Structure 1
Amino acid sequence: MKTDRKRHWFFMYLHCFLVGSLVDSSSLSSTTHIQSVISKVGNQAVLPCSWKSRLGEVAARSACHIQWTTPVDTVFELRGEQKWEAEEFQGRVEVPEERLGSGDCSQVINDVQIGDTGRYESFMVVDGVRSTKTRVFIQSVKLSVFDHKSLASRGPGEDLVLDLYTSHSVRVVFQGRNSSEWSVVWMRGDKDSQRLEKHPLREQLTIKNVKSSDDGTYKVLDEQGLAVSTVQLYVEENSTALKVHQIQESQVPTDDAAKSSCSALLILSVLLTSFQILHFL
């Protein structure tokens, strides 16, 4: 009888603990939520921001003064007609002014690069007491930028068009199928040759009249030597049609999914521990 009572109270305690854990986990997710944005090199990324959700009508009574920062430095700042942007983002970043009045302070990064990957935070500077300025945190966003990956098949004598994706691509390197060495195929500024031709307007490089020795891996690299794209070329004798297959990237789990997994693991560990304790009751 005493053992049954112990078990009853133990299960009541366990139930309350699990419910409390779920509530706490849900509250933590909502208060520390970081939005995630995923993009590929050369594309446009929009980092969401809404100042009305944090300031209501407070900021509407003063001129919009928005800041976007990383943990290291300020990326972009807009105050009325005055703008400032970090050197590495020159000409690539903006906060559309026509949307600010309605509360949208999203930052647009054009021609995103691998080096842009990281955490960004937005702030609104508003008038405080006694003519002081107060900086109010609005939103935290995690940006992940990935390179392009693809497979291509060509027959001997066909052309291969390599997408460079961005003006920040400075060279193309090649590794043969049975080789461990990388060789430079093209550098930005090189003149066109009999086999290599850079499109005058688009970010594309054409390798003409491919042959069996061209079979292997091509990498497009940026100024930091980071991969913009990787193309696996197969030169096949019987290939008569263009075949390009995009390699699907492994899905990066979102922050919410990661938190849910952690909560599930916590609950599972508690349940296992509880059954071990019951064994001794």
Structure 2
Amino acid sequence: MKNVKNRHWFFIDLLCFLAGDLVDSSSLSSTTSLQSIDTAVGNQVVLPCSWKRQLGQAPSPCHIQWTNPADTTVFELRGEEKWQAEEFEGRVEVPMDGLWSGDCSLIIRDVQIGDTGRYESFMVVDGARSKKTRVFIQSVKLSVFDHKNHMSHRPGESLVLDLYTRHSMRVVFQGRNSSEWSDLWMRNDRNSHRLEKHQEKEQLTIKNLQSSDDGTYKVLDEHGLAVSTVQLSVEEKSTPLKFHFSGDQVPTGAAAKHSGSSLLALSVLVASFQILRLV
């Protein structure tokens, strides 16, 4: 019986040892508060990260890694060497000047709808038997949303559509009383007499608006995801009815009395006409 108990505790100790040895950064991240950041397409965001609490002093060399929940590396920096995922090429960076002082924040420029998701940061340090160990630092949830606008213009005016990002590839249009979407503009299109892409800014101008331009405009990225949606109303704006007096001044004295008498007579005539119609 004593041998059975000893074997029992031996297996418990063994399982605890294995569990402790297998605990990695992903399980630690689930117990850490998740910070959320919301932004719009085309903006720049900073995903916070500070390694000082977990490590105390900087490892040499500094080896920082940012991944997504599938453990796919988004950005990695080891000393002077760096690597970034293809879809983030040229858009992500961890500034070296702040890394040694504890700031391992990831900067993402020109954010896209597809960047939405959770990001986790790790410092890679030397472990036992010269093995590399990943120390979990921070988990951040990033939400990227599209732009939505309502605009109103008169016929003949111009509509300036913000494309927001160089990843905007198409503009599609749906008329007010239509269920069909049609291609209005593609990034490689040449300027026309009505459509003009700004040479430097991410803007598309639609000139000489007509009533048929009334409807919905969508800017789409290379994956067909909406960057922005604009509801446009093209309508004539009514002008209030005004009475104009001849001359530059408001009539006074006898002229004012004559004008008042004329208006009174006109009112009586209108009222009499309405009464005759009822009879």
TM range (shorter): 0.7 to 0.9
- 1:71 is displaced (CA, Å) by 1.9
Tell me: higher relative CO, structure 1 or 2? Use CA pairs within 8 A at least 6 residues apart.
1
- Residue 203 (structure 2) aligns with: 204
Whole-Å separation in 2 of the counterparts to 1:56 and 1:192: 57
TM-score by length of 1: 0.72
Whole-Å separation in 2 of the counterparts to 1:53 and 1:36: 20
Unaligned runs of 5+ in 1: 1-29, 241-281
Please tell me whether the aligned partners of residues 154 and 239 of structure 1 are also in contact (alpha carbons under 8 angstroms): no
- Residue 66 (structure 1) aligns with: 64
Please tell me whether the aligned partners of residues 172 and 219 of structure 1 are also in contact (alpha carbons under 8 angstroms): yes
**Over residues 159-181 of structure 1, what are the superposed CA-to-partner deviations in whole Å (9 max), with x where a residue is unaligned?**
00000000100000000111110
**Over residues 98-139 of structure 1, what are the superposed CA-to-partner deviations in whole Å (9 max), with x where a residue is unaligned?**
000110100001000000000100000012233222110101
- Residue 145 (structure 1) aligns with: 144
Letter in 1 for 2:61: A
Whole-Å separation in 2 of the counterparts to 1:233 and 1:53: 52
Letter in 1 for 2:51: W
SS of the residue 2:160 aligns to: strand
- 1:32 is displaced (CA, Å) by 3.2
Please tell me whether the aligned partners of residues 49 and 107 of structure 1 are also in contact (alpha carbons under 8 angstroms): yes
Note closer, same or farther for the CA distance 1:119–1:61 as it changes in structure 2 (3 Å cut): closer
Whole-Å separation in 2 of the counterparts to 1:232 and 1:214: 11
Whole-Å separation in 1 of the counterparts to 2:82 and 2:181: 43
- Residue 8 (structure 1) aligns with: none
- Residue 41 (structure 1) aligns with: 41
Please tell me whether the aligned partners of residues 155 and 239 of structure 1 are also in contact (alpha carbons under 8 angstroms): no
Note closer, same or farther for the CA distance 1:83–1:239 as it changes in structure 2 (3 Å cut): farther
- Residue 110 (structure 1) aligns with: 109
- Residue 186 (structure 1) aligns with: 185
TM-score by length of 2: 0.73
Whole-Å separation in 2 of the counterparts to 1:34 and 1:61: 25
Letter in 1 for 2:43: N
How many residues are treated as equivalent by the alignment? 209
Matched, 1:77 2:72: no
Whole-Å separation in 1 of the counterparts to 2:238 and 2:203: 23
For the aligned residue pairs, the C-alpha RMSD in angstroms reads 1.4
Letter in 2 for 1:79: R
- 1:54 is displaced (CA, Å) by 1.6
- Residue 254 (structure 2) aligns with: none
**Over residues 193-216 of structure 1, what are the superposed CA-to-partner deviations in whole Å (9 max), with x where a residue is unaligned?**
010000011100000010110000
Whole-Å separation in 2 of the counterparts to 1:131 and 1:161: 59
Q: Percent identity?
A: 77
Matched, 1:127 2:120: no
Note closer, same or farther for the CA distance 1:216–1:239 as it changes in structure 2 (3 Å cut): farther
Unaligned runs of 5+ in 2: 1-29, 240-279
Whole-Å separation in 1 of the counterparts to 2:31 and 2:65: 21
**What pairs up with 1:118-267 in 2 under 5 angstroms?**
118-238=117-237
Whole-Å separation in 2 of the counterparts to 1:196 and 1:133: 56
- 1:61 is displaced (CA, Å) by 4.2
Please tell me whether the aligned partners of residues 66 and 79 of structure 1 are also in contact (alpha carbons under 8 angstroms): yes
Please tell me whether the aligned partners of residues 153 and 239 of structure 1 are also in contact (alpha carbons under 8 angstroms): no
